[in-house]
Amino acid sequence: MTAWTLQRRQFVAGAAALATAALGGCERAAAPLLGGFTGIDITRGHQLRDLLKTGNLPAPAVVRRAQVIIAGGGVAGLAAARALRLAGVHDFALLELEDAPGGNSRGTVVGGLPCPQGAHYLPVPGDDAREVQALLEELGVRRRVAGRWQYDERHLCHSPQERLFFDGEWQEGLLPVHGVGEATLAQYRRFARAVDAEARAARFAMPALKLWSQKQPLALAHQALDAITFDKWLAAQGLDDVHLRWYLDYCCRDDYGAGAHRVSAWAGIHYFASRHGFHAPGEAPDEARESVLTWPEGNGWITQRLAEPLRAQGQLRTATSVLRITEGRHGVEVDALNHSTGNVERWVAPQCIVALPVLLAARVVQQPPAFLTGAAQRLQWAPWLVTNIHIGSPLADHPGAAPAWDNVLYADPSAGGLGYVNAGHQRLDTRATLAGPTVLTYYQALGDLADGRQQLATQPWQHWADAALAALSVPHPDLRERATRVDITRYGHAMAIPTPGVLEYLSQIGLLRASSKRKQLSNAEQSAWIPTPRTARLAFAHSDWSGYSVFEEAFTRGHGAGLVAAG
């Protein structure tokens, strides 16, 4: 890590004057600011890419054996490991490229404070996500009280939950409402009715794969929505209000990494219909459906707990790049580069769970099945940037809604900006929350930036830190004076973008039922059939197979693949 001095930028008109007023009209010299890239080693990933391009892979220095090999340690890979353990299979190894597992759900520590490096919340799961419900029960997040399920209040997001910086002040909620006209409010109501109509035409679920079946993988109403972009669907509905369109575009970028002009209409509707619906101002929301679970380190709280038993049993192998997966008649060979020793290790097992992104799986699986190459050709991926800003003391704030957990800027000036979450929001000691240091985690989805991936690879960390501080200094003019460190995590292929046609293709994969038998797992959970792309000895598990990246999809797919590999 290096130290550098951030030069003041000329912020947008009004913001500079506001900053001057807040600082009493004096200019302070910017203190040296520590920071750098962290979390994801893209040079390691590029080394793997270059090795795969040449095809000249080193010979293995050692051969190891196990009953099951799991390639990839994101949420799906960790879920697969848990499913194996619950099914009584303990002779397995999980191979992970990075130094820590977790994929897009990693957590970290900045300035001694835990904060997210990726996904920062989990909606309270409904009954379609029974596998996730069982996990939360296992972790003590929920329990049955007097015959009803209750969630531990410490894990539910504290109030206030979210606010929007709009027209120079903060307002509660993320839908622009202050000062908007009746025409805007009317379009909010029309969109709410349209979401309800689509939900009545064909049920939505989270995870979506729970609705797929051999008889009809994708409902006809969903096929129609999947065939066009969300932007075209909105235009056909006559929904063109600038504030509504901003909000819906924000929602698409937040969940899918790209805007309404790229994601399918199915994805745009699914954002609301599978969770909490859409509520126009004045409509009463379903508070239980809108509740979210969150922790200072985001979903890293969950993945760290999934990884703990694997570390204890020596089943987790980090800093290990999977180079080649070869399926034979009698078993699977997995060649992997151990970055700590520099040697290639060959793992031999009867079964392998390929919990890798589809893009990578298609490169490392030898003689890949047609459904794998087809998925790799159809999918597109969004790059993401996560910037953790440590501040030593509370920030100056504009009038309006009180500081919240999720804080979003209307028309964020930074490319793909999605606002920030406050890692200190969940503290039980409110005095520390209000007066002590904290970490602001700022997100940017770069799927709509033509050269976003190239910029991630070539721009120095100071470029991204500068952009984040400039954007957040609009609502917080003293941010630069309070900031002590900026750590930046880059995700070159963070998440699949659900573009038109992708869902219909993916929904037809993995629908073969291996057996009609149900298995009793060690936690008394009853296993259920889950669509799983597979060959004779390979089971594929990743959120990519659902066409978009959320915890529920990744975990359920990993769980299903684990049960397939366990037999």
Average pLDDT for 469-479: 96
- Residue 517 — pLDDT band, cuts 50, 70, 90? low
Average pLDDT for 43-72: 85
CA angle 142, 143, 147 (to 5 degrees): 135
DSSP secondary structure, 298-365, as one string: TTHHHHHHHHHHHHHTT-EE-SEEEEEEEE-SS-EEEEEEETTTTEEEEEEESEEEE-S-HHHHHHHB
The single-letter code of the amino acid at 311 is: R
- Residue 516 — pLDDT band, cuts 50, 70, 90? very low
Average pLDDT for 187-202: 96
Every domain of the chain with CATH number 3.50.50.60 lies at 43-107+297-378+500-566
CA 395 to chain centre: 28
Q: Which two tokens stand for residue 291?
A: 């509740």
pLDDT score recorded for residue 138: 96
pLDDT score recorded for residue 21: 37
Please answer whether residues 477 and 106 qualify as being in contact, where contact means their C-beta atoms are separated by less than 8 angstroms: no
How far is residue 490's CA from residue 464's CA, in Å, rounded to a whole number?
10
- Min mean pLDDT across 147-156, 167-176, 329-338, 469-478 is at 147-156
Cβ neighbours for 517, distance < 8 A, ≥ 6 positions apart? none
- Residue 335 — pLDDT band, cuts 50, 70, 90? very high
Between 434 and 148, the more confident residue is 148
Q: How many helices (H) and strands (E) does the chain have?
A: 19, 24
How far is residue 163's CA from residue 157's CA, in Å, rounded to a whole number?
14
- Residue 31 — pLDDT band, cuts 50, 70, 90? low
Residue 146 pLDDT > 90: no
Tokens 């220095």 locate to: 61
pLDDT score recorded for residue 433: 57
Every domain of the chain with CATH number 3.90.660 lies at 2-38+380-497
Q: How many CA atoms lie within 13 A of 500 on its CB side?
A: 13
Q: What average pLDDT does the structure give for the chain?
A: 89
- Residue 527 — pLDDT band, cuts 50, 70, 90? low
What is the maximum span of the chain, computed from C-alpha positions, in angstroms? 76
CATH classification for the domain delimited by 43-107+297-378+500-566, as one of 3.40.50.10490, 3.40.50.300, 3.50.50.60, 3.30.499.10: 3.50.50.60
- Residue 323 — pLDDT band, cuts 50, 70, 90? very high
Residue 254 pLDDT > 80: yes
Residue pLDDT, tens place only, 416-430: 999 999 999 988 765
Residue pLDDT, tens place only, 533-548: 999 999 999 999 999 9
Burial class (CB in 10 A: 0-12, 13-18, 19+), 410: middle
Whole-structure pTM value = 0.91
- Min mean pLDDT across 120-124, 213-217, 336-340 is at 213-217
Between 11 and 422, the more confident residue is 422
CATH classification for the domain delimited by 181-275, as one of 3.40.50.2300, 1.10.510.10, 1.10.405.10, 2.120.10.70: 1.10.405.10
pLDDT score recorded for residue 214: 66
pLDDT score recorded for residue 45: 74
- Min mean pLDDT across 79-88, 131-140, 276-285, 297-306 is at 276-285
Residue 72 pLDDT > 50: yes
Report in angstroms the alpha-carbon separations of 516 from 215, 487, 528, 529, 532: 16, 49, 9, 8, 14
According to DSSP, the residues that pair with 150 across neighbouring strands are 143
Burial class (CB in 10 A: 0-12, 13-18, 19+), 384: buried
Element (H, E) at 34: strand 33-37
Q: Is the peptide bond before 160 cis (omega within 30 degrees of 0)?
A: yes
Every domain of the chain with CATH number 1.10.405.10 lies at 181-275
How far is residue 444's CA from residue 84's CA, in Å, rounded to a whole number?
35
Average pLDDT for 269-280: 90
How far is residue 75's CA from residue 167's CA, in Å, rounded to a whole number?
39
- Min mean pLDDT across 267-271, 340-344, 358-362, 438-442 is at 340-344
Domain spanning 2-38+380-497, CATH architecture: Alpha-Beta Complex (3.90)
pLDDT score recorded for residue 22: 38
- Residue 2 — pLDDT band, cuts 50, 70, 90? very low
Alpha-helix residue ranges (DSSP H) falling in 145-203: 182-201
Give the CA dihedral 320, 324, 326, 332, nearest 10 degrees.
0
Q: Tell me, what DSSP letter sits at residue 520?
A: B
3 state DSSP class of 535: coil
3-state SS record for 370-400:
HHHHHHHHHCEEEEEEEEEEEECCCCCCCCE
pLDDT score recorded for residue 308: 97
Residue pLDDT, tens place only, 357-395: 999 999 999 999 999 999 999 999 999 999 999 999 889
pLDDT score recorded for residue 54: 77
Average pLDDT for 133-159: 92
How far is residue 247's CA from residue 35's CA, in Å, rounded to a whole number?
32
Torsions phi, psi for 532 (to 5 deg): -135, 115
Residue 470 pLDDT > 60: yes
Average pLDDT for 72-98: 97
Residue pLDDT, tens place only, 400-417: 999 999 999 999 999 999
Please answer whether residues 362 and 76 qualify as being in contact, where contact means their C-beta atoms are separated by less than 8 angstroms: no
Give the CA dihedral 320, 321, 327, 331, nearest 10 degrees.
-10
As a whole-number percent, the residues of the chain with pLDDT over 70 amount to: 89
How far is residue 547's CA from residue 500's CA, in Å, rounded to a whole number?
10
Residue 222 pLDDT > 60: yes
